[in-house]
Amino acid sequence: YTKGFLRHLSIARGSLAELSTLLQVAVRLGYLQNREIAPLEEGIVEIRRLSAGLMASLSALAKSRANPA
C-alpha cells in the first residue's frame, strides 16, 4: 500500500505546483493581486513541506520493510 500512497502524494504535490502556477497567471492577467494570493501561497508551501516529510518517512518505512535487519 505504501508505494501506491507515495504515488498519490507525488501527484498531489504536482497539483500544488500547478495551483501555484495558475495563481501567478491570475495575478499576471489582473484577476487577482499578490496580496490576495499570498496566504494561499503560504499554505501551498506548508502543504508541500508536510507532504515532503510524510513522503520521506513512508519511503524509509518501505525500505526498512523491504530490507529487514
pTM: 0.84
Contact 37/23 with Cβ under 8 angstroms?
yes
Stretch 11-15: mean pLDDT, rounded?
97
Residue 16 — φ and ψ, nearest 5°? -65, -40
Residue with cell 525500505: 63
Instruction: Specify the pLDDT at position 64.
Output: 86
pLDDT digits (tens, 9 = 90+) for 20-66: 999 999 999 999 999 999 999 999 999 999 999 999 999 998 888 88
Cα 51 to Cα 7, 34, 56: the distances in Å are 12, 25, 8
Instruction: Specify the pLDDT at position 69.
Output: 65
Instruction: Specify the pLDDT at position 14.
Output: 97
Instruction: Specify the pLDDT at position 67.
Output: 82
